[in-house]
Amino acid sequence: MTGRRHRFPVLRDGPSAGLRLRAGRAARRAVFLPAIVALASLGLAACSGSTPAPETSLSPRVVSKGQPVPRGGGVYKVGKPYRIAGRWYYPKHDPSYDRVGIASWYGAMFHGRRTANGEVYDMNALTAAHPTMPLPSYAKVTNLANGRTLIVRVNDRGPYKPGRVIDLSRKAARLLGFERRGTARVRVRYVGRAPMNGDDSYERLFAASQPWYRRRIAAGELKAPAPARRTRTAALRPRAAPAPHHAAHAYRRWALGRGTGGIFVQAGAFRNPGNAHRVRERLASLGPVNVEALDGRAGALYRVRVGPFADADAARSTLERVRDAGLADARLVAR
């Protein structure tokens, strides 16, 4: 089928959770309504161009149309295995995830409603839904027809139609060049965990760094991004290695059971979020990497951590690899 709406039933967490049918845009003829009602009763995936599901089948709208949508506010989750339309999905952290398939997009009907991890969907942000990636996480999406690439924040579940690998926000589909067509063949790669506070500077900075994006700005098709606020940044150059007692103290706390979340490798803290996210991308192959925003006396800091590790030897091995990557002041810490 053709059309611009591609949304599917979403299972919040596990096979026992209730399914919510997410239907597509209004059909051109009311004759399709009985068919959609039948699909809804069977819990099948809706296809594009179908009649929208009733408002009661969607999560409540928590942000009115025209009002600003808050960033973050959700929880980190991977989720249990679940089944949709007879097919099982197995959410997991998979740093090697790299798939080619069809991307679709969803828009106004779901704008201002809760996503699968409790955030609020914003069709004007660079976000996406994916059936198995951790929430929230970053994915790199390339439209294979025109070579355009974006980083998007995955904070929702879906799509569930055969061959579909990701469901993008309207803005992401527009920038990648398939909003009007409705679907595109794309390559999707997992990048890593996204910050819980919803900071979208990484996605915007990545887009602004792309040649195709800059060409569209020069042609007047896009507005130039707002200039970044000038702040004193933490350099990425290697600095003196910390004293050995940092690692020993962290390990001692963990061994005595005082840490609440295992051992982390702290790669550094940065005033510029772009620097923090570049470090995060550099270290993505080492395991889960998170950027946390902290409020300090001198302003916001963005802390980059790898982990947690339940095994001390694995943590120490990762620490050495982080230092070999040029972050000589990396250290072990325990929550």
User: Can you list the domains of the chain with their CATH numbers?
Assistant: 57-218 (2.40.40.10), 245-334 (3.30.70.1070)
Whether the predicted pLDDT of 170 surpasses 70: yes
Burial class (CB in 10 A: 0-12, 13-18, 19+), 223: exposed
The more confident residue out of 74 and 209 is 74
Percent of the chain with pLDDT over 70: 70
Average pLDDT, the chain: 75
Whether the predicted pLDDT of 160 surpasses 80: yes
How far apart, in whole angstroms, are the C-alpha atoms of residue 2 and residue 182?
7
pLDDT in tens, 265-310: 998 888 888 888 888 888 887 878 888 887 766 677 888 998 887 6
How far apart, in whole angstroms, are the C-alpha atoms of residue 6 and residue 181?
12
Length of the chain: 335
Residue 250: the pLDDT is 43
Identify the residue whose tokens are 């991890």.
Answer: 117
- Which of left, alpha, beta for 190 (phi over 0: left; psi -120 to 50: alpha)? beta
Rounded to 10°, the helix 312-324/245-255 angle is: 150
Task: Looking at mean pLDDT, say which of 195-209, 231-245, 282-296 comes out highest.
Answer: 195-209
Identify the residue whose tokens are 């050495």.
Answer: 320
Which residues are CB-contacts of 124 (< 8 A; sequence separation ≥ 6)? Answer: 69, 169, 170, 171
Whether the predicted pLDDT of 226 surpasses 60: no
pTM of the model: 0.56
- Which of left, alpha, beta for 83 (phi over 0: left; psi -120 to 50: alpha)? beta
What single letter denotes the amino acid at residue 98? Answer: D
The more confident residue out of 221 and 276 is 276
What is the arithmetic mean of pLDDT over 59-83? 92
- Among 2-11, 40-49, 136-145, 174-183, the minimum mean pLDDT is found in 40-49
Whether the predicted pLDDT of 53 surpasses 70: no
Structure tokens at 211: 């040649």
Whether the predicted pLDDT of 252 surpasses 60: no
Residue 57: the pLDDT is 59
What is the arithmetic mean of pLDDT over 221-227? 64
The more confident residue out of 8 and 96 is 96
Residue 296: the pLDDT is 64
Whether the predicted pLDDT of 159 surpasses 90: yes
What is the arithmetic mean of pLDDT over 131-142? 95
The more confident residue out of 252 and 45 is 252
- Are the C-beta atoms of residues 198 and 293 closer than 8 Å to each other? no
Residue 261: the pLDDT is 52
Task: Looking at mean pLDDT, say which of 114-123, 219-228, 246-255, 257-266 comes out highest.
Answer: 114-123
